[in-house]
Amino acid sequence: MFDEKNLLITGGTGSFGRKFVNSILKKYKPKKLIVFSRDEMKQWEMAKLYPNNKVLRFFIGDVRDKDRLYRALANVDYVVHAAATKIVPIAEYNPFECVKTNVLGAMNVIDASIDQKVKRVIALSTDKASSPINLYGATKLASDKLFTASNAYAGEHGTKFAVVRYGNVAGSRGSVIPFFREIKNSSEIPITDFRMTRFLITLPEAVDTVFYAFEEMKGSEIFVRKSYSVKITDLAKSIAPEVKMQETGMRPGEKLHEQLISADEANFTYDFDKFYKILSPLNNWDNSASRIKGGKKVKEGFTYTSDSNDFWLKGQMLDRWLHKIEC
């Protein structure tokens, strides 16, 4: 669907953005692929990976700047919105800046996409947006609501919006895996709470989920990929089996277990084998046959949390899984 089309990704020099760009250039033949981000050094380093590439464009800009977005989105067909302030403790101590990027930035992407007649927009979300207890999660929940509601806001303009929500991406910036690998030769590994669990997916899985969402979206859906869970202590043992673990206490805004679907969201959630789809109740979209399309509604009170998951990474399976992760 991306052949001879123009695409733009905000936050395109981050871990996801780099993998997305690489995947698009390998699988499709886009007319133009725009990397929109505010870090010129990261753009410079990324550009060197694709010498003489006539498809790739690098556009310095910030999602807080609506005028710059309008310029960048001219003639663009598809948008992936990956730009975010996402490190939980930093967001807690810089709340205004987090809101400017994650909420006001989302509003700018929505307005610019509608006015520039973009066909489809996928916004990346996080497990922290489900029943949030920290500012990052709260801003991403607000962003999720903005993007799903914007299918009504767009009116007759025709731009469609959807959200992809997943847990921790192994090997990405801010992930615990590269941190553990950096300190595996230290005298001890800090663990905030020995009971802690997390969802884990790989970067290729995150990118494939976005491709799936672009193909399947009708507008207003939140796509949730089914993922493995892992105990943080098991992760530390697998990476540094000889190193002592030290419990340090949970950081500001940190959850003991993460959640991808809340009990309240279950009222609008359907099971699609490898994915869940949370539908919006706006305009009766949660009863839309084209959006449900073979999905099975989950049971009342269903929650999708990292501590109650059916699929776990541990032991040799975890070792093999980690061996494939590049950091």
pLDDT tens-digit map of 203-241 = 999 999 999 999 999 999 999 999 999 999 999 999 999
Residue 276 lies in a domain: yes
Q: Provide the domain limits for residue 208.
A: 6-167+201-226+260-304
Query: Measuring CA to CA, which residue among 52, 57, 54 is closest to residue 12?
Result: 57
Contacts of 145 (CB under 8 A, 6+ apart): none
Q: Average the pLDDT over 66-78 and give the result.
A: 98
How high is the pLDDT of residue 275?
96
- The 10s digit of each residue's pLDDT in 23-36 is 999 999 999 999 99
Rounded to two decimals, the pTM is 0.96
How high is the pLDDT of residue 325?
83
For residue 204, give the 3-state DSSP assignment. helix
- Is there a catalytic annotation at residue 244? no
How high is the pLDDT of residue 327?
57
Which of 128, 140, 255, 277 is labelled catalytic? Answer: 128
Residue 29 lies in a domain: yes
How high is the pLDDT of residue 324?
84
The pLDDT-based confidence of 175 (bands split at 50, 70, 90) is: confident
Residue 240 lies in a domain: no
Residue 186 lies in a domain: no
Residue 238 lies in a domain: no
Query: Measuring CA to CA, which residue among 230, 180, 175, 222 is closest to residue 203?
Result: 175
Is the distance from CB of 263 to CB of 302 less than 8 angstroms?
yes
How high is the pLDDT of residue 176?
86
Residue 130 lies in a domain: yes
Residue 17: CA count within 13 A, CB half-sphere: 28
- The 10s digit of each residue's pLDDT in 299-326 is 999 999 999 999 999 999 999 999 888 7
Averaged confidence pLDDT in the chain: 95
Residue 1 lies in a domain: no
User: Domain holding 207: CATH number?
Assistant: 3.40.50.720
Contacts of 269 (CB under 8 A, 6+ apart): 261, 276, 277, 278, 279, 297, 298, 302
Is the distance from CB of 35 to CB of 9 less than 8 angstroms?
yes
Percentage above 70 pLDDT, the chain:
99
Q: How many domains does the structure of the chain reveal? A: 1
- The 10s digit of each residue's pLDDT in 245-275 is 999 999 888 999 999 999 999 999 999 989 9
* Tokens matching residue 112: 């610019």
* Tokens matching residue 50: 């694709």
For residue 114, give the 3-state DSSP assignment. helix
The conformation of residue 141, written as its DSSP 8-state character, comes to H
Residue 132: CA count within 13 A, CB half-sphere: 18
Residue 313 lies in a domain: no
